[in-house]
Amino acid sequence: MDRMRVSLFSILGDLSGTSFLDLFAGTGVIGIEAASRGADPVLLVEKDARKRPTIQRNISFVQSKIELVLAPVERFLRNNNRSWDTIFLDPPFAFAEKVAVLDAACATPHLAPGGLAILHLHRSEAQELGPQGLTLVDRRAYGQSVLLFFRPAEP
């Protein structure tokens, strides 16, 4: 995960002036890294309330504000009315609804025009994805993990 994270943020570069949404945030480390590279606002969405103390401890070291929403990603997306420049999705490998959540996350209003959605998944699943309305712009493999980078398809 560390090698993948370093590579991801080398690709993304400076995030100053951009917003960042971390779905399936886990411990919040991706969102924290985004904030350290200038993203503001940063929002973490994690459904497991038992992770709250760990996430809050982790984000307490960051100088910029990072918000945390404890809710299932699907419910958050139904209620969100904000656009995000970058959306990072890291669903559990066993999560069956990856394409549906990716599609929902990239629908209006969630992904800003020209925004970037990044999906982390197991290597064996990468060939099966073909989300509607998105163009795969990059693919990076790290051991058994793959990062897929999507932008909205041109009309």
Cα 33 to Cα 39: distance, rounded to the nearest angstrom: 9
Here the tokens at position 68 are 């945390």
Q: Round to whole Å and give the CA distance between 39 and 36.
A: 7
* pTM of the predicted model as reported, rounded to 2 decimal places: 0.94
> What CA–CA distance (Å, rounded) separates 84 from 118?
12
Burial 2-39 (b: 16+ CB within 10 A, else e): eebeeebbeebeebeebbbbbbbbbebbbbbbbbeeeb
d(CA 15, CA 36): 9
Mean pLDDT value of segment 7-27? 96
- Residue 127: its pLDDT value, please? 65
State the DSSP code for 63.
S
CATH number for region 2-152: 3.40.50.150
Helices (H), the chain: 2-12, 29-36, 52-59, 73-79, 98-106
Q: Give me the mean pLDDT over the 131-138 stretch.
A: 83
Q: Token pair of 121, please?
A: 């998944």
pLDDT in tens, 65-75: 899 999 999 99
Mean residue pLDDT across the chain = 91
pLDDT digits (tens, 9 = 90+) for 41-78: 999 999 999 999 999 999 988 888 899 999 999 999 99
How far is Cα 44 from Cα 26, in angstroms, rounded to an integer? 9
Q: Return the residue matching tokens 């904030």.
A: 35
